[in-house]
């Protein structure tokens, strides 16, 4: 594949146009960044290339010849490989089997050739720079960041001609990101075309040769890396310049809202902290450092082996989410698709889930009042489309996240809101909205716990930063005086040579 041309690609789902006009081309060895807000049509575009959907209009040409990509299998035959944003590994299968799922080597008799499979998989892990991985182990035994590297290894092991990476670094730590970039450079030298989708503008500017901007389903701007600036990108993506990304911080009160003492749980050891009313408390740390585990234990979603959790000085003794919610704690989880949402239910049902008790007539739910409350919240958070009957599965990540936020903000007596990676897979415009919302909530006297792997986010929003390492709190830092570098050093526990 020396050249691929996308010509007037269009995709309609019933009445809605998800992709209006995607037209651009790429040549051998080019890294093309595809930028755009959520709902701009990036995922739809990728699904057309991956063969999982068919365009309603327009076509794709490879080396000047129109082609049809009818199934994922066709895409494979053309050498098109995709790494999806959501992990798609089978956690109960070995790493090796996951890597070669579609093309397991077999012996002459049709039996799977385990020895070759293991050897090939080990070669793959060696090439991607992680020779220490035991490919016989189950994929699910490894942390999410490593699993994402498996996904990438799976996509690049047959030497793709076109590699599509959809938010590949979302869950990666710096180490894996570096490994990924090295591999991209190698593939590029080898002539592979790479489509790189990411919300991280710094990353996109670092890695791409050319940048394509999608807005409202159409390619609205193209530029080479030399021409590109962050401001121009944001301007084309959002249609306006973003002067300040992070809102002003208001000082927190002295009132202690949430008090956690010597909390221990699986993956958590003797964690203590206070959260004040009006405070945004940032939690940093590497993937698997125990941030989410701590919060799950606080929320009662995971058993605690020791320690106390008090709200306004009243201990929450029973370890259930119900008890935590009754005390006024809300929890936006990390994995919105698996435990944050009922994907096949609509906006109303999802958003009303944590406040079912508030809108009742006698023993029955009062749907009208529910709809009214949800409707107000949905417009306050600017969820699009503003349709309470819209099914969550069809929404973009940013809007799904807003629905989850709406669910918790509707909860009666909310005092503490725990946000676990609230902006993962969310476009920049929505991010800014969520930042504003977090600051507003704190200003109204809520206590907010913010777990985020995006260090600038924690630095820009939090009043204090707690850095976790191996289940313990390793450092408490002041965002006014600390730096990304210092946080990284505290999180990894090793003096970094170059972070």
Partner 1 sequence: MTDQALGALEATAKSQPMPKAMKTNLIFGLGIVVLIAVTAFTSDAFLTERNLTNVARQMVTTGLLAIGMFVVIRSGGIDLSVGSTVAFAAVLAAGLQGTMPVAAAIAIALSVGVIVGLINGILIAYLRLQPFIVTLAMMGAVRGAVYVYSETPTYATSPFFLKVLGAGKIFGTVPVPFAIFLFCIPVVWVFMTQTRSGRAIMAIGMNPETVRLAGIDVRAKITLAYVICGFFAALAGVLLAARLGISQPSVGVAYELDAIAAVVIGGGVLGGGGGSVAGMFGGVVALAIIDNVLNLFNVQSYYQQIVKGLIILVAVLVRRKPED
Find the binder of partner 1 among 111, 241, 317, 363 (CB under 8 A).
111
- 344 near partner 1 (CB under 8 A): no
Of 250, 245, 248, nearest to 443 by C-alpha is: 250
- 286 near partner 1 (CB under 8 A): yes
Provide, rounded to whole angstroms, the least separation between the CB of residue 308 and partner 1: 23
Provide, rounded to whole angstroms, the least separation between the CB of residue 92 and partner 1: 6
Provide, rounded to whole angstroms, the least separation between the CB of residue 401 and partner 1: 22
- 356 near partner 1 (CB under 8 A): no
- 44 near partner 1 (CB under 8 A): no
Show the binding pattern over residues 157-196: x = contacts partner 1 (CB under 8 A), - = does not.
Answer: ----------------xxx---------------------
If phi > 0 it is left, if psi is from -120 to 50 it is alpha, else beta; for residue 488 that is: alpha
- 470 near partner 1 (CB under 8 A): yes
- 412 near partner 1 (CB under 8 A): no
Provide, rounded to whole angstroms, the least separation between the CB of residue 177 and partner 1: 11
- 315 near partner 1 (CB under 8 A): no
By the 8 A CB rule, do 257 and 280 touch?
no
Closest CB to partner 1 among 92 and 372?
Answer: 92
Structure tokens belonging to residue 118: 């293991």
Provide, rounded to whole angstroms, the least separation between the CB of residue 26 and partner 1: 22
Which residues, other chains included, contact 285 with Cβ-Cβ below 8 Å and sequence gap of 6+? 291, 467, 468, 469, 474, 491
Of 174, 165, 148, nearest to 87 by C-alpha is: 148
**Residue 104's CB: how many other CB atoms inside 10 A?**
15
Name the 3-class secondary structure at 300. coil
Provide, rounded to whole angstroms, the least separation between the CB of residue 76 and partner 1: 4
- 102 near partner 1 (CB under 8 A): yes
- 73 near partner 1 (CB under 8 A): yes
- 72 near partner 1 (CB under 8 A): yes
* H or E element that contains 215: strand 210-215
Place of tokens 């973003």: 242
Find the binder of partner 1 among 55, 168, 252, 288 (CB under 8 A).
288
- 79 near partner 1 (CB under 8 A): no
Of 341, 346, 337, 336, nearest to 390 by C-alpha is: 346
Find the binder of partner 1 among 76, 150, 408, 435 (CB under 8 A).
76
Structure tokens belonging to residue 368: 């009208």
Provide, rounded to whole angstroms, the least separation between the CB of residue 43 and partner 1: 13
Place of tokens 């944590």: 354
Provide, rounded to whole angstroms, the least separation between the CB of residue 443 and partner 1: 36
Provide, rounded to whole angstroms, the least separation between the CB of residue 141 and partner 1: 5
- 116 near partner 1 (CB under 8 A): no
Q: How far is CA 304 from the centre of its chain?
A: 27
If phi > 0 it is left, if psi is from -120 to 50 it is alpha, else beta; for residue 110 that is: left
Find the binder of partner 1 among 97, 124, 221, 427 (CB under 8 A).
97
By the 8 A CB rule, do 459 and 482 touch?
yes
- 135 near partner 1 (CB under 8 A): no
* H or E element that contains 362: none
Of 439, 458, 441, nearest to 406 by C-alpha is: 441
- 206 near partner 1 (CB under 8 A): no
* H or E element that contains 22: strand 16-27
How far is the C-alpha of 485 from the C-alpha of 256, rounded, in Å?
A: 30
Catalog residues that contact partner 1 under the rule CB under 8 A.
50, 52, 72-73, 75-76, 82, 84, 88-93, 97, 101-104, 106, 110-112, 132-134, 137, 141-143, 146, 154, 173-175, 286, 288, 470, 492-494, 496-497
């Amino acid at each position: 594949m020396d050249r691929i041309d996308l010509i007037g690609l269009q995709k309609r789902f019933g009445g809605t146009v998800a992709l209006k006009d995607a037209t651009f081309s790429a040549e051998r060895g080019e890294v093309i960044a595809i930028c755009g807000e959520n709902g701009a049509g990036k995922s739809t575009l990728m699904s057309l290339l991956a063969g999982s959907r068919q365009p309603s209009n327009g076509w794709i040409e490879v080396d000047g010849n129109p082609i049809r990509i009818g199934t994922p299998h066709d895409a494979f035959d053309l050498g098109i490989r995709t790494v999806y944003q959501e992990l798609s590994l089978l956690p109960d299968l070995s790493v090796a089997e996951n890597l070669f799922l579609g093309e397991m080597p077999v012996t002459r008799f049709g039996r799977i050739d385990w020895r070759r499979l293991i050897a090939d998989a080990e070669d793959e892990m060696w090439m991607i720079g992680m020779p220490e991985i035991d490919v016989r182990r189950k994929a699910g035994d490894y942390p999410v960041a490593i699993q994402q590297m498996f996904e990438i290894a799976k996509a690049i092991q047959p030497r793709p001609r076109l590699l599509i990476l959809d938010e590949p670094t979302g869950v990666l730590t710096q180490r894996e990101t570096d490994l990924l970039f090295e591999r991209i450079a190698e593939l590029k030298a080898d002539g592979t075309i790479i489509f790189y989708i990411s919300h991280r503008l710094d990353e996109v500017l670092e890695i791409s040769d050319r940048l394509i901007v999608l807005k409202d389903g159409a390619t609205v701007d193209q530029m080479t890396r030399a021409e590109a600036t962050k401001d121009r990108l944001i301007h084309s993506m959002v249609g306006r310049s973003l002067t300040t990304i992070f809102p002003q911080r208001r000082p927190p009160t002295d009132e202690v809202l949430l008090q956690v003492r010597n909390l221990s749980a699986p993956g958590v050891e003797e964690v203590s902290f206070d959260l004040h009313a009006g405070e945004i408390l940032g939690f940093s740390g590497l993937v698997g450092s125990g941030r989410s585990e701590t919060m799950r234990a606080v929320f009662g979603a995971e058993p605690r082996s020791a320690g106390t959790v008090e709200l306004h000085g009243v201990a929450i003794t029973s370890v259930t989410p119900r008890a935590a919610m009754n005390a006024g704690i809300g929890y936006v989880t990390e994995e919105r698709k698996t435990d944050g949402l009922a994907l096949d239910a609509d906006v109303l049902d999802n958003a009303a889930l944590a406040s079912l008790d508030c809108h009742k007539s006698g023993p029955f739910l009062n749907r009208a009042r529910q709809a009214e409350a949800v409707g107000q919240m949905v417009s306050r958070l600017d969820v699009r489309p503003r349709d309470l009957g819209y099914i969550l599965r069809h929404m973009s990540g940013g809007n799904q996240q807003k629905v989850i936020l709406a669910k918790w903000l509707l909860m009666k007596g909310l005092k503490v809101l725990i946000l676990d990676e609230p902006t993962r897979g969310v476009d920049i415009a929505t991010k800014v909205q969520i930042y504003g919302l977090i600051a507003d909530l704190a200003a109204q006297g809520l206590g907010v716990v913010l777990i985020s792997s995006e260090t600038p986010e924690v630095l820009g929003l939090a009043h204090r930063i707690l850095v976790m390492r191996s289940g313990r709190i390793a450092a408490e830092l002041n965002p006014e005086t600390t730096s990304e570098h210092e946080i990284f050093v505290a999180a990894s526990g090793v003096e970094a040579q170059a972070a």
